Structure 1
Amino acid sequence: MKIQIQNETFILHPSGALFWESKNLIIISDVHLGKVSHFRKHGIAIPSNAIAENFKRITTVLEQFNPQKIIFLGDLFHSTKNTEWELFEEWILDTKYETILVAGNHDIIDRTHYYDLGILVVDFLEIDHFLLTHHPEEKENFFNFSGHVHPGIVLRGLGLQTLKLRCFFHKPNQLILPAFGEFTGNYILKPNQEDLVYAIAGNEVVCIEKDSKSKI
């Protein structure tokens, strides 16, 4: 789905990625690499092939848009280095994209390990009048792209049917990206009248219209 923000065009992808057309860059938030290995280490039964799923999904997005740059909005890795770091090293060295990590609260791996892979790590990023952060923030005269929240919504149908979906949560001066990673969970948000919700339903991104918000 294409949307306009401050006369710029962005594409909301059903993976949870955001493509900025004029800058030819991809923004992805909350991948939480290493989380599957962390769960398996502690005896939680998650199939081992789930480890490769995040890399596969990122690669699919990059092949579709062929961006010049990738920006990760924090929580790229879930915790300390584990076996998935080696897979990440192999993956990043095979890519040709400039990569920037806006550090999040889970990004506790020493930044020198990212620098060794050619990845720039910053606390925030300003591009024109857009502010890119991990936690949602407000700054005068800036539109904020952020993550951290793992936004989701609940759609309520006739009877007692409910459906929980990941979403892009668009406030007047902010867009909160959904978590990209597997097994990250969602935090259910309740939109105000001025908010827009772009729900991810399978392979589609669907705008939840204002007149239907009584059903959210």
Structure 2
Amino acid sequence: MTRPLQIKNEHFTLHPIGGVFWRKKSLLLISDVHLGKVAHFRKFGAAVPRKAVHKNYVLLDEIVNHFNPFQICFLGDLFHSSLNKEWELFENWVAKTPSEIILVSGNHDIISPHKFEQLGIPIFEELLLENFLLTHHPAEREEYFNFCGHIHPAVRLQGFGRQRLKLPCFFKTDFQMILPAFGKFTGTHVLQPKKNDEVFVIVEDEVVKI
């Protein structure tokens, strides 16, 4: 179940797969997919199931079909490493995806920009759209609200009987939202919310504010 959210008088939707949809712009924000990571680990002998490669593409199709966005903006770390066998899968996915695709580069995006440009994907260090700043690393810019990734945010919850859960989340402060890592073969980093922070955890295919 998705969750609506209003920021600076603009309407957004948080999706439990891990993306944010900006209604007026028909823009889907996704961060830290880390495509190619499975192939990268398998190359060096890690016993990662080959079928894990396809999981991200299934989820990408699901969220794109849900919103049918005009444009998709990846907020960095789209591809995990240098070119490997998964690049061809990515090319095929881009070819069949009707949305325009742009990339805000992250620290893992080391593939030559020319490879992305050949697919019609422009790359930016950051983007300013109206009152919003789109980056990979968390950033502060006066008067702008920042959408970013990089952190792979999660929170730790404690229930009765000493039960503990670590859940990925959308982590919102007064001036910033850190998106969860979209990629399913990634780790998380636990953040400690402050008084005015808002945390939207992803649990059982639902976005829940805690």
What is the SS of the residue equivalent to 1:175?
strand
Corresponding residue for residue 123 of structure 2:
121
Amino acid across the alignment from 1:65: F
C-alpha distance in 2, partners of 1:49/1:155?
31
Structure 2 counterparts to residues 35-50 of structure 1, below 5 A: 35-50=37-52
Q: Distance in 1 between matches of 2:190 and 2:14?
A: 19
Summarize deviations over 1:177-213 as a string: whole Å, max 9, x none: 00000111100000000100000002100000xxxxx
Runs (4 or more) in structure 1 with deviation over 2 Å come to none
Distance, in Å, in 1 between the alignment partners of 2:151 and 2:202 is: 16
Instruction: State the partner residue of 2:170.
Output: 168
Q: Give the 3-state SS of the residue equivalent to 2:161 in structure 1.
A: coil
CA distance in structure 1 between the partners assigned to 2:166 and 2:58 by the alignment: 24
2:197 counterpart letter in structure 1: D
1:104 counterpart residue number = 106
The offset of 1:154, in angstroms, is 0.6
RMSD: 0.6
Name 1:181's counterpart in structure 2: 183
2:198 corresponds in structure 1 to 196
Partner of 1:213: none
Give the counterpart letter for 2:42 in structure 1.
R
Give the letter aligned to residue 154 of structure 1: R
Cα offset, 1:169, TM superposition: 0.1
Q: What amino acid does structure 1 have at the position aligned with 2:31? A: S
Does residue 27 in structure 1 map to residue 22 in structure 2?
Answer: no
What is the identity, as a one-letter code, of the residue corresponding to 1:63? N
Paired AA for residue 173 in structure 1:
F
The residue type equivalent to 1:128 in the other structure is: E
Runs of at least 5 residues in structure 1 that lack an aligned partner in the other structure: 209-216
Partner of 1:56: 58
Number of corresponding residues: 208
Distance 1:37 1:92 in 2: 19
Distance, in Å, in 1 between the alignment partners of 2:161 and 2:194 is 24
Choose which of 60, 65, 70 in structure 2 pairs with 1:68: 70
Shift of 1:159: 2.5
Q: Quick one: distance in 2 between partners of 1:41 and 1:153? A: 32
Matched to 1:167, the amino acid is C
Relative to the length of structure 2, the TM-score reads 0.98
Show CA shifts across 1:111-147 (max 9, x none).
0000000001000001001000000000001000000
Amino acid at match of 1:77: F
CA distance in 2, matches of 1:94, 1:157: 44
Aligned to 1:154: 156
Code of the aligned partner of 2:49: P
The answer for unaligned runs of 5 or more in structure 2 is none
Structure 1 match to 2:135: 133
Q: Distance in 2 between the 1:96 and 1:120 partners?
A: 16
